[in-house]
Amino acid sequence: MKRLAAIGVHAAILLAVAFALYPVLWVVSLALSPHESPGAIPWPTEPSLDAMREVVLRTDDEGRYLFLMQTGASLLVAFSTALVAILIATPAAYALSRFRFVGKDASQQALLATQMFPGVAAAIPLYLILDALGLIDHLGGLTLVYATTAVPFAIFQLKGAFDTIPRDLEEAAMVDGATPFEAFRKVVLPAARPALAVTALFAFMTAWNEFILAATFLSREEIFTLPVVLQRYVGEHRAQWGHFAAGAIVVSVPVMALFYWLQRHLVGGLTAGGVKG
Amino acid sequence: MTIPRAPGERALDLGARSGILAAPVTAKPTGNGLTLAGVRKRFGETTVLKGIDLRAEPGELVVLVGPSGCGKSTLLRCLAGLETPDEGGIHIGDRDVTRLPPKERDIAMVFQSYALYPHLTVRHNLSFGLELRKAPADLIRQRVDEVAGMLGLEKLLDRYPRELSGGQRQRVAMGRAIARRPTLFLFDEPLSNLDAALRTEVRVEIKRLHHQLGTTMVYVTHDQEEAMTLADRLVILNGGLVEQQGPAIDVYREPATRFVGAFLGSPAMSFLPAEATETGLVVGDATLESPTHHRGPCTLGMRTHDVVVDAEGPLELEVRVVETLGHATHAHGLVEGQPFVARLQGHERPAPGDRIRLRPVYMHLFDAESGARIVR
Ligand SMILES: Nc1ncnc2c1ncn2[C@@H]1O[C@H](COP(=O)(O)OP(=O)(O)OP(=O)(O)O)[C@@H](O)[C@H]1O
Ligand SMILES: [Mg+2]
């Protein structure tokens, strides 16, 4: 009876996994069979890496490896966005979490307001601003645009995290001989490490996957970010589904790698045990 | 290996963990005395400390006790530098520390929540303060080993706080304070998160540490038993004011106010309205031999052990509830219509409804209006 129940549970789980993985398998299958359209069963009959190779090793007229340059551009934008978000949001969130100051409520509400509009809504004003700054078609400009949404979001995330870290910890550090800044750097920041990691990852992924604004503000092919590159494969003239799928796989690899690498930071409950609990 | 020591610093006894009886003879007091004069603290509209005057001699263990919300933690935080008093001054030794930040006060504090650094191992929790002060590595190692030995933490040094039991965390919190060798220790209800058995054990441990270190300690609790057992000097706080301070036994035996009388002792002191007259102390229908020259209405206070069973006794207890402790029996009931608790011998087991005659052996008299103790 028990065994029967176990089999039932496993069957249900397998079904759920299959359901979730089907589209992914389909993409993998597409990527590996560039010369045929896939059927209902996502399994390539003549597996080939041609599409993958063509996507990754694509060169422009001058013989430069375009895809590698575009990957570089994407990485640069995503990393910079995460970095800017963390650097600005960490002190801001800490201040909002710990101190009382003039304009605290107002600034918090203003930050919240920015979260209520989709980023695209600001596309035109952003375009005008970037134009004035001479940052159209510039990765720095795109990073700046992404930061406008990443920073407020990160502030909320981190404020929530700091709120859960008991003040006792900082006070203990100060009694132990720390300045307020040392207490922040040596106690609060390490205790908030999981939250910092998640927030950074989130900012990175948002920037890495963003399409509309990137397509709006970039026009030089060699600095296209990867979502724009992918979209080009299923563009106006003909749909190269195999290339699109191959590219999609390559694009997801860094995100998966990052997730994997951050896993150890994500172990929840780092603050557990610090104070009674 | 020899460790650099500041002049006058003593070596800590490493072998003393075998119990309080094995502890070395009381250490010479080290550290500094403490003086508070007229300390006031307001939070917005509410005045939490209303003018606290307090003295602690070097090496004394001062216990601050009082009901919840009376300002104990606030007072301790003022001592630590985590709050700044609105008025008044705080001296540690002859240093005015009233406005100094915590790091410059050379104090250590054990928090009620323990406040261990969650991202650091026990070893680094212990050494954190020394590292901040840039102590040399071999001194740090020496101190950590010493403290770990004193508190039995040797096997836990590489664990994280989340991997410790409540009692172990409490030890680490104490160890962290001791490792720095401060001139003043502050404890804010360090035992309140432990279960009863462990509480008694750690209480003895703290007493032993105090003997061994000889450092001035200020200890906050709302547990009167903890307060009595630990205190060299007992300070009773109530509503932001010091009700009474002095040696614990004096405060217990001669409570300055009705509040102090009610606060110390468990079960609490029973109170009977009385009238001091020429013929004696009139309590309802009974007349007791008057211990005072005072005349007029007053409140008679008696702890459970201030009466004995005596068939000729002037007071009658109408028993309602009986608590058997084994070594004693607490009889709860009414005397002259007022709630009263008497302590009987363990073998005396009255039943609810019984009437027992009691003879007072000790009486506390308080002013009926102000609650102040009536002396003679
Ligand atoms: N930062 C603060 N802001 C406003 N009010 C405060 C603050 N800290 C303490 N209080 C108030 O001051 C009073 C005394 O608080 P305190 O923590 O000193 O009490 P306590 O004697 O330690 O009580 P307990 O035994 O419950 O710990 C309480 O009424 C509390 O609400
Ligand atoms: Mg308190």
Are A144 and A236 contained in the same domain? Answer: yes
- The pLDDT-based confidence of B18 (bands split at 50, 70, 90) is very low
Question: Residue B359 — very low, low, confident or very high, per pLDDT cuts 50/70/90?
Answer: very high
Q: Is A98 on the interface with B (CB under 8 A)?
A: no
Does residue A216 form part of some domain? yes
Q: What is the pLDDT of residue B160?
A: 95
Per-residue pLDDT, averaged over A224-229, amounts to 91
Supply B57's token pair.
């001699």
Can you give the pLDDT at residue A233? Answer: 84
Confidence of residue A21 (pLDDT cuts 50, 70, 90): confident
Is there a single domain that holds both residue A39 and residue A65?
Answer: no
Look at ligand 1, atom 19, and give the residue with the nearest C-alpha. Answer: B69
**CB-based contact (8 Å) between A174 and chain B?**
yes
Do both A104 and A25 map to the same domain? no
Q: Where are the domains of chain B?
A: 21-253, 267-367
Mean pLDDT calculated for residue range B6-12: 41
The answer to whether residue A66 scores a pLDDT higher than 60 is yes
Q: Which of B108, B116, B160 sits opposite A175 (nearest CB)?
A: B108
**Phi then psi for B219, rounded to 5 degrees?**
-125, 120
Mutate to test the pocket of ligand 1, among B40, B47, B65, B72 (most ligand atoms within 8 A of CB): B72
Contact assessment for residue A215 and residue A231, using Cβ atoms and an 8 Å cutoff: yes
Q: Which residues pair with A52 in a beta bridge?
A: none
Residues A76 and A183 reside in one and the same domain: yes
Q: CA-to-CA distance for B262 and B300, rounded, in angstroms?
A: 12
pLDDT tier, B47 (very low <50, low <70, confident <90, very high otherwise):
very high
Is the N-terminal amide bond of A194 cis, ω within 30° of 0? no
Same domain, A81 and A122: yes
pLDDT at position B22 is: 44
For ligand 2, the distance from its centroid to the CA atom of residue B86, given in whole angstroms, is 19
- Count CB pairs under 8 A between chains A and B: 96
DSSP alpha helices (H): ranges in chain A?
A: 2-32, 50-56, 66-98, 104-114, 123-133, 139-164, 167-175, 180-183, 189-191, 193-209, 212-217, 226-233, 241-266
| Judgement on whether residues A176 and A261 belong to the same structural domain of the protein | yes
Mean pLDDT value across chain A: 86
Tokens of residue A141, six digits: 């400009």
Say yes or no for a CB contact (<8 Å) between A273 and B162.
yes
Question: What sections of chain B are H helices per DSSP?
Answer: 72-80, 122-132, 137-151, 166-179, 196-213, 224-230, 248-253, 258-263
What are A89-104's pLDDT values in tens digits? 999 999 999 999 999 9
Structure letter (DSSP) for residue A178: -
Q: Which residues of A touch B160 (CB under 8 A)?
A: 273
CATH 3.40.50.300 holds for B21-253: yes
Find the mean pLDDT for residues B203-224: 91
- Long-range CB contacts for residues B39-48, cutoff 8 Å, separation at least 24: B39/B75, B39/B78, B39/B85, B39/B87, B39/B88, B39/B89, B39/B90, B40/B85, B40/B86, B40/B87, B40/B88, B41/B71, B41/B74, B41/B75, B41/B78, B41/B83, B41/B85, B41/B86, B42/B86, B47/B240, B48/B74, B48/B240
For residue A39, the model assigns a pLDDT of 66
Residue A269 pLDDT > 70, yes or no?
no
φ, ψ at A217 (rounded to 5°) = -95, -10
CA angle at B312 for the pair B308 and B315, rounded to the nearest 5°? 60
Distance CA B310, CA B294 (A): 27
Q: Would A277 be classed as within a structural domain?
A: no
Domain check: are A190 and A70 in the same one? yes
List B residues 39-98 in contact with A (Cβ-Cβ < 8 A). Answer: 80-82
Cα B83 to ligand 1 centre (Å): 12
**Domain at B267-367: CATH code:** 2.40.50.140
pLDDT at B87 over 90: yes
Answer whether residue A207 is part of any domain.
yes
Q: What is the mean pLDDT of residues B74-80?
A: 95
pLDDT value of residue A236: 66
A276 located within any domain:
no
Percent of chain A topping pLDDT 90: 46
Work out the percent of chain B whose per-residue pLDDT is above 70.
91
Antiparallel, parallel or unpaired: β B216-221 and B61-65: parallel
- Per-residue pLDDT, averaged over B243-247, amounts to 94
d(CA B106, CA B96): 13
Looking at the structure, tell me whether residues A36 and A75 fall in a common domain.
no
For chain A, how long is the longest CA-to-CA vector?
Answer: 73
Q: Distance from the CA of B71 to the center of ligand 1, in angstroms?
A: 6
Q: Which residue has the higher pLDDT, B32 or B104?
A: B104
| Class of residue B110 by CB neighbours under 10 A (exposed 0-12, middle 13-18, buried 19+) | buried
Global pTM reads 0.81
Query: pLDDT tens-digit profile of A193-220?
Result: 889 988 998 899 999 999 999 998 998 8
Cα B158 to Cα A38, B129, B143, B164, B172: the distances in Å are 56, 17, 16, 11, 12
What is the band of B4 on the pLDDT scale with cuts at 50, 70, 90? very low
- Considering CB atoms only, which of B113, B120, B180 is closest to A275? B113
Q: Do B108 and A168 touch (CB under 8 A)?
A: no
Would A98 be classed as within a structural domain?
Answer: yes
Calculate mean pLDDT across residues B159-175: 93
Q: Mean pLDDT, to the nearest integer, of A162-173? A: 94
Above 50 in pLDDT, residue B2?
Answer: no
The answer on pLDDT for A8 being more than 80 is yes
Measured from the Cβ of residue B152, the count of other Cβ atoms closer than 10 Å reads 13
A210 CB contacts (<8 Å, ≥6 apart)? A119, A146, A225, A227
* Sign of the dihedral through C-alpha B306, B312, B316, B317: positive
* pLDDT in the model for residue B251: 95
Here the tokens at position A219 are 């026009």
Higher pLDDT, B158 or B376: B158
In this prediction, residue A271 has a pLDDT band, given cuts at 50, 70 and 90, of very low
**Residue B14 reports pLDDT greater than 50:** no
Least confident of A45-54, A261-270, B141-150: A261-270
Chain A closest CA to B10's CA: distance in Å? 21
- Which domain covers residue A257, as residue numbers? 52-271
Domains: count for chain A: 2
Are B115 and A273 a contacting pair at CB < 8 A?
A: no
pLDDT band at B375 (very low <50, low <70, confident <90, very high): confident
Report the distance separating Cα B331 and Cα B320, nearest Å.
Answer: 7
Q: Which of residues 98-157 of B touch A (CB under 8 A)?
A: 101-103, 107-109, 111-120, 128-129, 132-133
Residues A69 and A196 in one domain: yes
Amino acid at A265: H
For every residue of B125-138, DSSP letters joined together read HHHHHHHHTT--HH
Q: Are residues A70 and A109 in the same domain?
A: yes
> Is the CB of B180 inside 8 Å of chain A's CB atoms?
yes
Which atom of ligand 1 has the smallest separation from the CA of B222? 25
Spatial CA neighbour of A51 closest among A29, A69, A26, A72? A29
pLDDT-derived band of residue B20, with 50, 70 and 90 as boundaries? very low
Of A147-151, A187-191, B84-88, B288-292, which gets the smallest average pLDDT? B288-292
Question: Is A204 strand, coil or helix?
Answer: helix
Three-state DSSP at A101 gives coil
* Non-local CB neighbours of B64 within 8 Å, separated by 6+ positions: B72, B75, B76, B218, B219, B220, B221, B235, B237
Say yes or no: A60 and A43 in one domain: no
Given this model, what pLDDT does residue B17 score?
Answer: 41
CATH fold match for the domains B21-253 and B267-367: no
Average pLDDT in chain B: 89
The enclosing domain of A254 has a CATH number of 1.10.3720.10
Could A175 and B116 be called an inter-chain contact, meaning their C-beta atoms sit closer than 8 Å?
A: no
List CB contacts (< 8 A) between B169 and chain A: 273, 276
Residues 182-241 of A with CB under 8 A from B: 182, 186-187, 190-191, 193
Distance B73 CA to ligand 1 centre (A): 7
**Pair (A106, A5) in one structural domain:** no
Name the phi and psi angles at B44, rounded to 5.
60, -120
The mean pLDDT value for B259-278 works out to 93
Is the ipTM reported for this complex over the cut 0.90?
A: no
Which residues have any ligand 1 atom within 6 Å of their CB? B 43, 48, 66, 68-74, 222
